[in-house]
Structure 1
Amino acid sequence: MDARAQRSFGRLSAAVLELAAHGAPETLSVAEVARTAGVHRSTFYEHSESPSALLRAVLRGELDEARERHLGGGGDRDWAAAVRATTLEVLAHLERHRAVYLRSLGSPTDGTLRTLLSEHFHASILLLAERGALRSPVADVDLVARYVAEGTAGALSVWLTREVRDADDFLVAFARLVPSWWPLSA
């Protein structure tokens, strides 16, 4: 992406995050996002097909960067420490965009962002399995990944609704919830 397109994408990203924090993400219009970003509607469509798709792309991009930073690349590592660092970064991401996630997670008609979280965790778990960081008790790794991903998304949904949210407290509770073969287990 050239520098001009990167600037436009950055402005659109900031606009969709701002608007989604103050209104239902599924009701955002292209015109509203483009106007807030200070770009033309055609520029919006160069980057995304809809405001909700743009929002998912922006949030997924942040989550994917965190995964790559801590779980990417090759070589041996302390997987428990890598999973802990990734989880802390995901918690910071959720805190930073709390209003956006709460609007979606609390909506009975829109589970889009919960699905986004689950898909992110599913991909991360498959990556951990591929790297040998997990010793699953069953051969169907996809089954295991989906099970842990859905539970993680649910646990984070609850954490996000709390008035007082402490990342370290979440990690302690999460480590007790995940199976003993999980790299972060207590």
Structure 2
Amino acid sequence: MDPRQLRTRHRLRETMYRLAAGKPIEQITVAEVAREAGVTRDTVYRHGADPVRLLAGFLGEELQELIARSTTGLPASVARGGTVFDDAERELLAHIVRHAEIYRNALGSRLIGPVRDVLIDSIAGGLHEHLAAHPQIAPSADPRIPADLHAKMLVAYASAGTVAAIEEWLRTGDLSKADAAARTVLAASPSWWLGVLSADRPE
């Protein structure tokens, strides 16, 4: 992407974040985005099919960078008293807090589809990489389930569950208590994912 396109994309990102923090995302129009960003409607469409998908794309870029930074190279297990995902979970929820108005304006009974999808997909990407790096941590598969499907199901369950927990926290929780929320999400996760060593398992 050339410098001019990067500047345009940056302007669109700032515009979308501002608009989405101010009102429900479904009320934002392409014409409004174009006017506020000082670009044409065609330019908006080149970056996203509609405002919701444009926003989801920007959040996705941020999330993918965050997840890659916080999950790459994690060990399979950690010393007792923590989990391998402690820092990653806190960073994820810090991202949610930074964009709390946006996420709450995208929240009905669930987060609006594209925004929910980008959260799930970003988390799933990090979990998939972790499982690929440490396949020995996963519970044994039923022999009737192919190994690759087994792994995909484990990742899908964990990523979608994490996002469902975030939705509940956004709906009713105190967002100043992100560390406590992170501990709750981690408490709901199985110890094999978290790399928690049991009392009878050697380190």
Q: After TM superposition, give the deviation of residue 22 of structure 1 in Å.
A: 1.8
Check the 8 A contact 1:79/1:133 in 2, yes or no. Answer: no
- Name the residue aligned to 2:178: 167
Look up the SS of the partner of 2:193 in the other structure: coil
- List 4+ stretches of structure 1 deviating above 6 A: none
Of 123, 126, 129, the residue aligned with 1:124 is 126
Could you tell me how far apart the structure 1 residues matched to 2:195 and 2:183 are?
A: 9
Could you tell me how far apart the structure 1 residues matched to 2:111 and 2:75 are?
A: 41
Of 82, 85, 88, the residue aligned with 1:86 is 88
Look up the SS of the partner of 1:49 in the other structure: coil
Q: After TM superposition, give the deviation of residue 57 of structure 1 in Å.
A: 0.4
Q: After TM superposition, give the deviation of residue 128 of structure 1 in Å.
A: 1.0
Check the 8 A contact 1:138/1:144 in 2, yes or no. Answer: no
Q: Considering only aligned residues, what root-mean-square deviation do their CA atoms show, in Å?
A: 2.4
Residues 155 and 27 of structure 1, relative CA distance in 2, 3 Å threshold: same
Q: After TM superposition, give the deviation of residue 24 of structure 1 in Å.
A: 2.1
Check the 8 A contact 1:15/1:36 in 2, yes or no. Answer: yes
Residues 166 and 132 of structure 1, relative CA distance in 2, 3 Å threshold: same
- Name the residue aligned to 1:180: 191
User: Where does structure 1 lack aligned partners over 5 or more consecutive residues?
Assistant: none
Could you tell me how far apart the structure 1 residues matched to 2:136 and 2:29 are?
A: 43
Q: After TM superposition, give the deviation of residue 123 of structure 1 in Å.
A: 1.8
Residues 42 and 33 of structure 1, relative CA distance in 2, 3 Å threshold: same
Of 154, 158, 162, the residue aligned with 2:168 is 158
Look up the SS of the partner of 2:129 in the other structure: helix
Could you tell me how far apart the structure 1 residues matched to 2:176 and 2:32 are?
A: 32
Matched residue count: 184
The AA in structure 2 aligned to 1:152 is T
User: Where does structure 2 lack aligned partners over 5 or more consecutive residues?
Assistant: 142-149, 198-203
Residues 76 and 112 of structure 1, relative CA distance in 2, 3 Å threshold: closer
Alpha-carbon displacement from aligned partner over 1:19-49 (angstroms, at most 9, x marks no partner)? 1122221232111111111222222233222
Q: After TM superposition, give the deviation of residue 160 of structure 1 in Å.
A: 2.0
1:5-154 residue pairs with structure 2 within 5 A? 5-72=5-72, 77=75, 83-107=85-109, 110-132=112-134, 135-139=137-141, 140-154=150-164
Give the alignment's TM-score, normalised by structure 1.
0.86
Give the alignment's TM-score, normalised by structure 2.
0.79
